[in-house]
Amino acid sequence: MPAHFFMHPDVMKGDGKMLFVCKNHVVKGLQATIIPHIGKLSEHRRCTCKFCKGKAQYKLFHLW
């Protein structure tokens, strides 16, 4: 299925399967992702929050 089926177009990145968010934007990210899974990023990862560009602590993704 196409990536846009799983994630709102405003937050899609790459293949649309993963979204990085800070602790303040977890709920907003979950609302933008259909059938979400969540994982904590290691302190060594240098990913930025899709919404505020701050340091991301979580990755939201789907397995499809």
pLDDT band for position 3 (cuts 50, 70, 90): very low
Q: What's the confidence (pLDDT) of residue 15?
A: 52
d(C-alpha 5, C-alpha 49), whole Å? 22
pLDDT band for position 56 (cuts 50, 70, 90): very high
* pTM of structure: 0.62
| Both tokens assigned to 23 | 């602790």
Q: What's the confidence (pLDDT) of residue 30?
A: 82
Q: Give residue 22's domain range.
A: 3-61
Structural domains counted in the chain: 1
Note the pLDDT tens digit of each residue in 8-41.
455 555 555 778 899 999 888 887 777 678 889 9
**For residue 30, with 0-12 CB atoms within 10 Å meaning exposed, 13-18 middle and 19 or more buried, which class applies?**
middle
